[in-house]
């Protein structure tokens, strides 16, 4: 196809909408918005299956940037070789139809890819499955969207005299669209209508551009009709099944908040909350009073370890499992909860029998702690984003804040989630961080029976000096003294447990802690 001196093809000159540059700028705006909406939608689509950890975010951002870069190179070459705007808007239509199909078929592709990998891959399963899923689902439409800007530059430029101004305006439109594509899904559409409908909203907005273009030119009408049918079918069928589409019974609620995918399931003996469809239980309530069979039972030793058990602060309240356990066994204890996700707090009242007389603040745990002036006998740190610990709640500064909010003789208990003792493991790093604040003599860990959780207990010794104790452990001589000091301090811990066990009334907790303490005593003998 030949072009005139301005570089525009006869097709471009014959299209009524291209006689003004306004439609080109609008196209760039919605293209930028669709890219960011797809990226944020990708994180929420993958999170229920692979979590929303930094690794998953890195995979999403990296693969999308690769797709956009390759699309830009290929799109620029095609714009020079064949400056046909019909082909450009056909690519936009294809990208919009693909994005519209993501809520319908994306979840099936993820499960299919995960099922194929789980029998063939022994290490790094989550990272590899997330990467392949992202490549299959999101790279094709983002590659197509990456071709848009070079083509628009070709059609919007009349001469080299205003070339830089045209590129600057197109870039501004793309950036403004990207800003809206970032904020709207996160703060408006996903909390209000969910990830699936969010994909449909932004793919529908993108699809309008080629539809208007082809209808105005009266070309590609059949292709346009097919794309509309695809969009409508996906809009009808997508909401019929959720993320856990294979679950036929037991799901009482499935939805999303600004922070999490949320699933409530009911069983004969309990109700559970999960933020991941494949693994993990974030909260539970038992239909009958008693132990949960989870890490909350082990964590009940914390008030027994403390000098007093009159007040408790729970950072990461969830639906109030630990608060209910404390209220059951320590009915006079004053409890304060902090939960960042208001939707979880709402579900706690609706499905999990959370006592309404326990105050719960909707706030980030660290920020709330920084503003709070009170001290507590017990502080539970159980804040997780999916299956990962927020980095701001795993630092030396954070645990110093926790220690400062503990009364003398108070105890902090941390849910460390995964049992992992390897060199360089998260547990090793987290234990070292806490030890530098509380002192290794005041630490005790316990693996939760029949689970992957580990609980770490740290006592705020009345004499303080946690950091100096940790520093002493760097030498072998002082390390031995610290070990003996730890044994002495933990004997006091165990004594508190032994005195308090009758109050707990459940023999399972007695067996757990007698077993843990006996083994620790044996391994700690000088």
pLDDT of residue 526: 42
Res 423 pLDDT > 70: no
pLDDT of residue 260: 84
Model confidence over 93-147: pLDDT tens digits?
Answer: 999 999 999 999 999 999 999 889 988 877 788 889 999 999 999 999 999 999 9
Looking at the chain, the whole-number percentage of residues with pLDDT higher than 90 is: 51
Nearest to 106 by CA among 225, 279, 252, 241: 241
Segment among 367-371, 386-390, 449-453, 502-506 with least mean pLDDT = 502-506
Angle of helix 85-118 relative to helix 221-237, nearest 10 degrees? 30
pLDDT of residue 20: 80
Q: Within 10 Å of residue 331's Cβ, how many Cβ atoms?
A: 7
CA 18 – CA 467 distance, rounded (Å)? 70
pLDDT of residue 420: 61
Higher pLDDT among residues 278 and 241, named by residue: 241
Q: Are 434 and 427 in contact (CB under 8 A)?
A: no
Nearest to 324 by CA among 285, 267, 270, 365: 285
- 263 sits in the region (left: phi over 0; alpha: psi -120 to 50; else beta) called beta
Q: Which two tokens stand for residue 39?
A: 């990226």
Model confidence over 169-215: pLDDT tens digits?
Answer: 999 999 999 999 999 999 999 988 999 999 999 999 999 999 999 99
Q: What is the mean pLDDT of residues 243-252?
A: 82
**Residue in the structure block whose two tokens are 């993501």:** 102
pLDDT of residue 345: 93
Higher pLDDT among residues 235 and 450, named by residue: 235
Q: How many CA atoms lie within 13 A of 386 on its CB side?
A: 22
Q: What is the mean pLDDT of residues 9-30?
A: 80
Higher pLDDT among residues 326 and 389, named by residue: 326
Q: What is the mean pLDDT of residues 387-405?
A: 86
CA 352 – CA 35 distance, rounded (Å)? 39
pLDDT of residue 242: 84
How confident is residue 278, by pLDDT bands cut at 50, 70 and 90? low
pLDDT of residue 4: 52
**Residue in the structure block whose two tokens are 């499960």:** 111
Q: Are 309 and 377 in contact (CB under 8 A)?
A: yes
pLDDT of residue 54: 82
pLDDT of residue 424: 63
Alpha-carbon Rg for the chain, nearest whole angstrom, is 29
Q: Which two tokens stand for residue 128?
A: 């590899």
pLDDT of residue 387: 59
pLDDT of residue 518: 45
Exposure string for 182-217, b = 16+ CB within 10 A, e = fewer: bebbbeebbbeebbbbbbbbbbbbbbebbbbbbeeb
Res 488 pLDDT > 60: no
As a whole number, the mean pLDDT across the chain is: 83
Q: Which two tokens stand for residue 133?
A: 């899923």
Res 500 pLDDT > 90: no
pLDDT of residue 97: 97
CA 332 – CA 113 distance, rounded (Å)? 51
Higher pLDDT among residues 245 and 202, named by residue: 202
Res 316 pLDDT > 70: yes
Higher pLDDT among residues 470 and 427, named by residue: 427
CA 266 – CA 289 distance, rounded (Å)? 16
Higher pLDDT among residues 233 and 53, named by residue: 233
Looking at the chain, the whole-number percentage of residues with pLDDT higher than 70 is: 82
Res 66 pLDDT > 50: yes
pLDDT of residue 471: 40
How confident is residue 7, by pLDDT bands cut at 50, 70 and 90? low
Res 468 pLDDT > 50: no
Res 492 pLDDT > 90: no
Edge-to-edge, what's the strand order for the sheet holding 376-381? 360-361, 334-338, 311-315, 376-381, 406-415, 454-459, 443-447
Residues tagged active-site: 382
pLDDT of residue 501: 43
CA 223 – CA 341 distance, rounded (Å)? 44
Tell me the three state secondary structure of residue 274.
strand
- 293 sits in the region (left: phi over 0; alpha: psi -120 to 50; else beta) called left
Widest pairwise Cα distance in the chain: 93
């Amino acid at each position: 196809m030949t072009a005139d001196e301005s570089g525009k093809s006869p097709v471009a000159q014959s299209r009524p909408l291209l006689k003004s540059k306004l439609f080109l700028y609008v196209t760039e705006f919605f293209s930028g918005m669709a890219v960011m909406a797809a990226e944020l939608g990708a994180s929420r689509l993958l999170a229920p299956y692979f979590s929303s950890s930094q690794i998953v975010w890195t995979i999403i951002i990296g693969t999308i940037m690769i797709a956009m870069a390759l699309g830009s190179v290929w799109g620029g070459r095609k714009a020079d070789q064949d400056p046909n705007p019909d082909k450009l808007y056909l690519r936009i239509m294809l990208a919009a139809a693909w994005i519209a199909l993501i809520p319908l078929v994306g979840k099936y592709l993820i499960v299919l890819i995960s099922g194929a990998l789980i029998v063939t891959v022994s290490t790094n399963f989550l990272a590899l499955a997330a990467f392949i899923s992202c490549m299959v689902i999101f790279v094709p439409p983002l590659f197509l969207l990456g071709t848009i800007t070079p083509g628009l530059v070709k059609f919007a430029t009349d001469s080299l005299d205003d070339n830089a101004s045209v590129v600057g305006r197109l870039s501004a439109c793309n950036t403004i669209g990207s800003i809206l594509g970032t904020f709207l899904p996160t703060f408006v559409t996903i909390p209000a209508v969910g990830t699936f409908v969010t994909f449909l909203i932004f793919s529908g907005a993108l699809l309008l551009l080629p539809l208007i273009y082809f209808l105005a030119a009266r070309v590609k009408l059949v292709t346009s009709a097919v794309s509309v049918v695809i969009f409508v079918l996906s809009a009808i069928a997508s909401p019929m099944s959720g993320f856990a589409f294979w679950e036929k019974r037991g799901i009482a609620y499935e939805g999303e908040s600004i922070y999490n995918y949320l699933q409530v399931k009911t069983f004969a003996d309990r109700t559970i909350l999960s933020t991941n469809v494949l693994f993990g239980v974030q909260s539970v309530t038992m239909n009958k009073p008693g132990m949960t069979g989870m890490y909350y039972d082990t964590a009940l030793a914390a008030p027994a370890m403390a000098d007093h058990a009159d007040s408790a602060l729970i950072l990461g309240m969830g639906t109030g499992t630990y608060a209910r356990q404390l209220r059951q066994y320590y009915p006079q204890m004053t409890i304060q909860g902090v939960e960042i996700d208001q939707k979880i707090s709402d579900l706690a009242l609706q499905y999990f029998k959370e006592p309404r007389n326990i105050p719960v603040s909707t706030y980030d745990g660290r920020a709330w702690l920084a503003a709070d002036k009170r001290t507590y006998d017990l502080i539970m740190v159980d804040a997780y984003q999916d299956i990962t610990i927020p980095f701001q709640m795993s630092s030396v500064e954070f645990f110093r804040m926790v220690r400062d909010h503990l009364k003398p003789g108070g105890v902090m208990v941390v849910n460390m989630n995964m049992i992992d003792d390897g060199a360089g493991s998260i547990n090793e790093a987290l234990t070292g961080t806490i030890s530098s604040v509380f002192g290794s003599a005041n630490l005790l860990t316990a693996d939760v029976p029949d689970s992957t959780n580990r609980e770490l207990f740290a006592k705020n010794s009345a004499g303080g000096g946690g950091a100096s104790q940790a520093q002493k452990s760097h030498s072998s001589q002082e390390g031995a003294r610290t070990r003996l000091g730890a044994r002495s301090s933990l004997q006091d811990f165990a004594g508190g447990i032994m005195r308090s066990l009758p109050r707990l009334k459940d023999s399972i907790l007695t067996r757990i802690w007698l077993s843990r303490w006996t083994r620790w005593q044996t391994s700690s003998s000088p």
